[in-house]
A and B are shown apart, each in its own frame.
Chain A
Amino acid sequence: MPTFTTTTIMSSQNNNLNLHQFKINPTTQSNIVTINVGGQIFQTTEETLTLAGPKSLFSQLSELSQLGPHFIDRDPELFSILLSLLRTGSLPSKAKSFDLQDLIEESKFYKIESLLVNSLSNPSQFDSFNLEKTLILPLNSRDTASAVATTPFGILHVSHGSKITSFDWSLQNKSTTLTQFTAIDSMLAISPNLVAVGATDFSGLQILDLQKKGFVLETLNWENVTKSGSTVQAIGSSNDLLFTSFESNFFPVTEIGHYEIFGADLDSAIPATKLKWVESYNVVMASGSHSGPSGVLGNVKFWDVRSGNVVWEFKEKVDCFSDITVSDNLSSIFKVGVNSGEVFYADLRKLGSEGNDSWVCLGDKRKVGNVKKEGVGCKIEAHGNQVFCSKGGNIELWSEVVMDSSRKREEGLPERVFRKNWMGRVKDMEGSRVTNLAFGGNKMFVTRKDRQSVEVWQSSGRGF
């Protein structure tokens, strides 16, 4: 035991030297904190301990360091891993001899779980070109996943039937909540525990607290003239607003109880089925479509939230979108044509200018008049600098190739080059049709038709 203790001190000091070797002042003796964890001696500096944040047990230790070495009655091996995480910001490879669950529980005790989340489920680690299908999350009972909601750091909520199953950021733990819905069509994560939930056969939008077994915090209803129940078609949000499309119209909820209604005077009664916030333009994109005798018709509207006016509007008559998304990073909106099944983009920077052909087809233009409706059921989502588009059971990844800007079109903006590639390996192809694509942390989540599970796509180099 004595020799073992000495080596621990030596290695801790070495680490300290590494960290501070570029500092002019060598670590002074008074800065060194000695901690006895479950019988093993650890030494570190106050600076390292304060990195853990003011609420953590570590920073409390550094405050009490004047009183001599502290004894913490916890497991020393897990402590040494968390101390390495604190020193370097990433987990040492020896952490792999433990389950992630052990580290999560231990980090909760020391109140440094956020450091672990940062090192393992950080959205900055999302790498579109390096995503592989790594995990399948099974869902109990017989219902298939209907809607998916995620938080930026990878908490995942999946609705199936009348239930919502929530997975924590590590995807190690789950809990299931029973809701009042028969089936959930739209869901949005407001905070780790709060979700906004709506369905096309349920009157009103519910805000549920999933930590309190699905306690309904608030039911929001559109107070329309007829006083009839209005059902939720889509939910979207910006940093501080929640948008909901009720039947044919949508309103943002600034604070609970205060709301404004936009679009009540719409001549077309097409409800918005997708709402996306465009941060850099301060507008919300609302899109909806319905099929009539002359084919699928749709419209895309951009609403200025402050004024409540429509800024731009697209009327979709030929090859209407099957699904549509907007990418702030690429300053473009992307759609899949319902007839052609091809991906189109429209540059947001050109929307103000006149020009009746804003959509640029990225594939075979001749298929626009297709009668086969190849685009039915396709999903398109933008995340980071890429656009993900599902076609049947496969997923296309569209990315912009930045070319020489000398080739210019008449409008003055350079012609943009987008290229696609199929995601996954041959064995992942030709699965059931993709029903949801969602992104959270460094992961992509995929649900498929008739499957009681969620696929997790993750970069192979990362992860525990």
Chain B
Amino acid sequence: MENEISNSIPNSLSSDRVKLNVGGKLFETTISTLQSGGPDSLLSTLSTLPSHDPIFVDRDPEIFSVLLFLLRSNHLPSTARRFSKQELDDEALYYGIDSRLRLAIAPPPLSGIDASFVSTIFPASDGVVSSFNAAADDGSVCVAHGGQISFYDHNLTHVSTVRTHLEEITSIRHVCPDLAAIGSDSTAGLHFYDFSSARYLGSTHWTDSSDPRIYKARVSSIADSPSQIFATFDCPHRENCILLIDKSTLQISSEIGRQSGSSSKNTAPGKLTWLPETGAIIGSAVTSGAFGYSGYIRMWDPRSGEVIWETNEPGSGRSSRFGDSFADADVDVGGFTLFKVCSKSGDLAVADLRNLVDDPWVYIKDKNPSMSFIGGASSSVLHCYKSQVFVGRDGSLEVWSKENNGADEGLYRRNFVDKVEDSTRGVIRKIEGGGDRLFVSREDAEGIEVWESSYSSGAILV
């Protein structure tokens, strides 16, 4: 604030001032305001023109006044409501200040304890979403529904839909700006589609010249790092591995974690996460058998292909929670911790990735007696995002967030994100954060839900 004031008062110097005639309406502003949109923008180019007469710009003055307001005060005026997000976006792109606009209309930081259901994105056809991915981190989302991929941009405006050759896409990852990697549990191979041009770019299959049984392997999960794509391939005879694929060439660079698939401890991982700090890959698999759930979490070094650490569940007698295998696990990449939700008790447990031992789990309970009884749900899903842990149990959505006690280590507290009536919309199948949004898909429900935090009180007039 202090800077703004010291800026605005000396700006009375006429040399700093710029007059613009936009579509017949006169505006007067300063060079620094126009340049605040970025050095390469059209507006900052205009501001350097040596002219004393108003510079004429043949655009709509109304939208310009909204954008000028944005440059001056860093937020949008209420008059911006007269224009659609698309109109504003297009006009901001024309003036070269789209990044400023994007910042101004992005939702505030996602806080699970104060998030509300904003909207549902409904794909036009085959609305039941089989998988989705929000990896671009700007709040955009790639949705797989049936054999189609739909892409929704940072405004959640529909950009494009591509019909792929797959009948049903079960895993999708937005790996490059316009590139989606998709896999299916009914069709072999990992396939690449460019969704801006709706083009098929190619496929990758797992083959082994020395072993003819490696054939028709299907992709069960996909992850990526800035340079590589990691995909788990699972043969019909259950032998599986993780293939590392180079992003620039889309060719296989190496194969790690090959295992027979003969027991639950070596089935293909259903979830893969790449850890940016160490470069390790964490994979987890859950299978349900006659004796309940079982599974493993394993960490590989992709360079050597070696297993760095693993834990199997249900563990041996040493495990403190014998028989209570996890239903889902996820990595909090920023906090360097691993979370799991138990299938029987429903409890949440955390493990420090820096200190992995045989039984690294610390079980966390909420202090509130009414929130500490959970009860198990084997369909639970867990997703770590922005230092918060989101858990879906049947239809209800909860968040575990750290309380602020001034010290570094706060306790995790459990709160519901949703209302009781929200939980009746169906069993939650997948939760994923992207940008400052949380996306939720439900069993057999059309579309994906968007949850956001807001500074606005949302007061309802009565």
Interchain CB contact under 8 A, B403 and A178:
yes
Q: Are A74 and B404 in contact (CB under 8 A)?
A: no
User: Restricting to A110-165, which residues have a CB under 8 Å from any CB of B?
Assistant: 111, 133-138, 140-143, 161-163, 165
Closest Cβ of chain A to B46, distance in Å, is 15
CB proximity to A under 8 Å, residues B432-462:
454-462
Bound state CA distance, A101 and B458, in angstroms? 12
Q: Which residues of B contact A69 (CB under 8 A)?
A: 12
Chain B contacts of A141 at CB under 8 A?
Answer: 113-114, 415-419
Comparing B67-75, B89-97, B324-332, the segment that makes contact with chain A is B67-75
B28 closest partner in A (C-beta): A39
Asked whether B69 lies within 8 Å of A73 as measured between CB atoms, the reply is no
Partner of A73, one of B8, B114, B403, B405: B8
Q: Is the CB of B413 within 8 A of A162?
A: yes
A60-B9, A141-B416, A176-B111 given as contacts; is B403 within 8 A of A109 (CB)? no
The residues of A that contact B1 with a CB separation of less than 8 Å are 108-109, 111
Q: How far is it, in angstroms, between the C-alpha of A64 and the C-alpha of B9 when the chains are bound?
A: 9
* Distance of A106 Cα from B370 Cα, bound (Å): 44
Q: Within the assembled complex, what's the spacing in Å between the Cα atoms of A64 and B455?
A: 37
Q: Are A102 and B456 in contact (CB under 8 A)?
A: no
- B30 interface residue per 8 A CB criterion: yes
Option from A57, A71, A165 in Cβ contact (under 8 Å) with B12: A71
Rounded to whole Å, the gap between the CB of A38 and the closest CB of chain B is: 6
Question: Which B-chain residue is minimally distant from A162 (CB atoms)?
Answer: B413
Q: Which single member of A68, A106, A183 contacts B73 (CB below 8 Å)?
A: A106
CB-based contact A109/B415 at 8 Å: no
* A-side contacts of B26, CB under 8 Å: 1, 39
Within 8 A of A (CB), among B405-425: 405-406, 411, 413, 415-420
CA distance A444 to B417 in the complex (A): 28
User: In this assembly, does A386 line the interface, its C-beta being within 8 Å of a C-beta of chain B?
Assistant: no
A435 within 8 A of B: no
Q: Is B379 an interface residue (CB 8 A)?
A: no
| A171:B29 contact, CB within 8 angstroms | no
Task: Return A285 CB to nearest CB of chain B, in Å.
Answer: 32
Answer yes or no: B368 CB below 8 A from chain A CBs. Answer: yes
Least Cβ distance of A54 to chain B in Å? Answer: 14
Indicate if the CB atoms of B8 and A72 lie closer than 8 Å.
Answer: yes
B68 contacts which chain A residues (CB < 8 A)? Answer: 38, 75
Closest-by-CB residue of A relative to B81 is A99
Residues of chain B contacted by A142 (CB below 8 angstroms): 416, 418-420
Checking B113, B402, B419 against A176 with a beta-carbon cut-off of 8 angstroms, the contacting residue is: B113
Q: How far is the CA of A101 from the CA of B368 in the complex (A)?
A: 37
Assess the B28–A36 pair: CB atoms within 8 A.
yes
Classify chain A's interface size. 35 or more
- Most chain-B CB neighbours within 10 Å: which of A140, A212, A214? A140
In the complex, which residues 71-105 of chain A have their Cβ closer than 8 Å to any Cβ of chain B?
Answer: 71-75, 78, 98-99, 101-102, 105
Contacts of A73 in B (CB 8 A): 8, 11, 29-30, 33, 72
* C-alpha gap A64/B115 in the complex (Å): 46
**Contact B367 A167, beta carbon cutoff 8 Å:** no
Residues on A with C-beta less than 8 A from B405 are: 180, 216
Q: Is the CB of A178 within 8 A of B404?
A: yes
A178 lies within 8 A of B17 (CB): no
Of B1, B68, B111, B401, the most chain A CB neighbours within 10 A belong to B111
A449 within 8 A of B: no
A419 interfacial by beta-carbon distance below 8 Å: no
A432: chain B residues within 8 A (beta carbon) = none
Within 8 Å CB of A61, what residues of B? 9
Smallest Cβ-Cβ distance to B7: which chain A residue: A73
In the docked arrangement, what's the CA distance between A278 and B239, Å? 79
Could you say which residues of chain A place their CB within 8 Å of the CB of B458?
Answer: 137-138, 174
Instruction: Verify if A420 is at the interface (C-beta below 8 Å from B).
Output: no
Residue among A57, A109, A137 making CB contact with B457, cutoff 8 Å = A137
Instruction: Assess the A99–B404 pair: CB atoms within 8 A.
Output: no
**Contacts of B79 on A, CB cut-off 8 Å?**
98
Q: Which of B79-117 contact A (CB under 8 A)?
A: 79, 111, 113-116
Verify A74–B406 contact, CB threshold 8 A: no
Chain A residues whose CB sits within 8 angstroms of the CB of B371 once the complex forms? 161, 182
Residues of A within 8 A of B33 (CB): 73
Contact indicator B9/A140 (Cβ below 8 Å): no
Q: Which residues between 1 and 57 of chain B lie within 8 Å of chain A, taking CB atoms? A: 1, 4-5, 8-9, 11-12, 14, 17, 19, 26-30, 33
The answer to whether B316 has its CB under 8 Å from any CB of chain A is no
The reply to whether B406 and A216 form a contact with Cβ atoms under 8 Å apart is: yes
Within 8 Å of chain B (Cβ to Cβ): is A456?
yes
Q: Contact check, A57 vs B404: say whether CB atoms are below 8 A apart.
A: no
Using CB atoms, name the residue of chain A closest to B30.
A73
| Distance from B450 Cβ to chain A, minimum over Cβ atoms (Å) | 15
Look across to chain A and name the residue whose beta carbon is closest to the beta carbon of B77. A102
Classify chain B: how many residues form its interface, as a range: 35 or more
A452–B417 Cα distance when bound, in Å, is: 13
> Is B78 a contact of A98 with CB atoms below 8 Å?
yes
Contacts of A136 in B (CB 8 A): 459-460, 462
Contact code string A161-192 (vs B, CB < 8 Å = 1, else 0): 11101010001111111111011000000000
In angstroms, how far is the closest chain A Cβ from the Cβ of B293? 28
Question: Are A135 and B460 in touch, CB under 8 angstroms?
Answer: yes
- Which one, A70, A75, A143, contacts B9 given CB within 8 A? A70
| Smallest CB separation, A197 vs chain B (Å) | 13
CA distance A183 to B9 in the complex (A): 49
- Chain B residue numbers with a CB within 8 Å of A165 are 114
Of the candidates A68, A162, A452, the one having the most CB atoms from chain B within 10 angstroms of its own CB is A162
Question: For the complex, what is the distance from the CA of A141 to the CA of B117, rounded to whole Å?
Answer: 10
Residues on A with beta carbons closer than 8 Å to the beta carbon of B69: 75
> B413 contacts A173, CB within 8 Å?
no
Contact A74 B8 (CB under 8 A): yes
With a cutoff of 8 Å between Cβ atoms, the chain B residues found around residue A178 in the complex are: 113, 401-404, 413, 415
In this complex, what residue of B is CB-closest to A427? B462
Q: How far is the CB of B15 from chain A (nearest CB, A)?
A: 11
Closest beta carbon of chain A to B67's beta carbon, Å: 12
Determine how close the nearest CB of chain B comes to the CB of A188; give it in whole angstroms: 20
- A135–B456 touching, CB < 8 Å: no
**Cα distance, A293 to B35, chains bound together (Å):** 78
Q: How far is the CA of A299 from the CA of B27 in the complex (A)?
A: 70
Contacts of A67 in B (CB 8 A): 12
Q: How far is the CA of A183 from the CA of B366 in the complex (A)?
A: 12
Per-position 1/0 for B361-391, Cβ under 8 A of A: 0000011111100000000000000000000
Q: Which of A106, A162, A167, A180 contacts B415 (CB 8 A)?
A: A162
Cα distance, A164 to B358, chains bound together (Å): 40
Min C-beta distance of B83 to chain A, whole Å: 15
Residue in A64, A135, A177, A452 whose beta carbon sits within 8 Å of that of B461 in the complex: A135
Q: Is the CB of A171 within 8 A of B459?
A: yes
| B30 pairs with A71, CB closer than 8 A | yes
Give the Cβ gap from A143 to chain B, nearest Cβ, in Å.
Answer: 8
Question: Chain A residues near B369 (CB, 8 Å)?
Answer: 182
Nearest B residue to A179 via CB reads B403
A350 lies within 8 A of chain B by Cβ: no
> Across the interface, do B459 and A70 meet the contact criterion of CB distance under 8 Å?
no
B residues less than 8 Å from A78 (CB atoms): 77
Selected contact of B462 from candidates A57, A105, A109, A133, CB within 8 Å: A133
Beyond the given A162-B413, A163-B114, A456-B459, could you list 7 further A-B residue pairs with CB under 8 A, ordered by the A residue number?
Answer: A39-B28, A71-B14, A106-B73, A137-B457, A161-B368, A175-B114, A182-B366
B residues with a Cβ closer than 8 A to A are: 1, 4-5, 8-9, 11-12, 14, 17, 19, 26-30, 33, 65, 68-69, 72-73, 75, 77-79, 111, 113-116, 366-371, 401-406, 411, 413, 415-420, 454-462
7 A-B residue contacts at CB 8 Å?
Answer: A68-B12, A71-B12, A99-B78, A135-B459, A174-B114, A178-B401, A215-B406
7 cross-chain pairs, A with B, having the tightest CB-CB distances, nearest first? A39-B28, A99-B78, A176-B114, A182-B368, A142-B416, A174-B457, A136-B460
Interface residues of A (CB under 8 A from B): 1, 36, 38-39, 57, 60-61, 64, 67-75, 78, 98-99, 101-102, 105-106, 108-109, 111, 133-138, 140-143, 161-163, 165, 167, 171-180, 182-183, 212-216, 452, 456
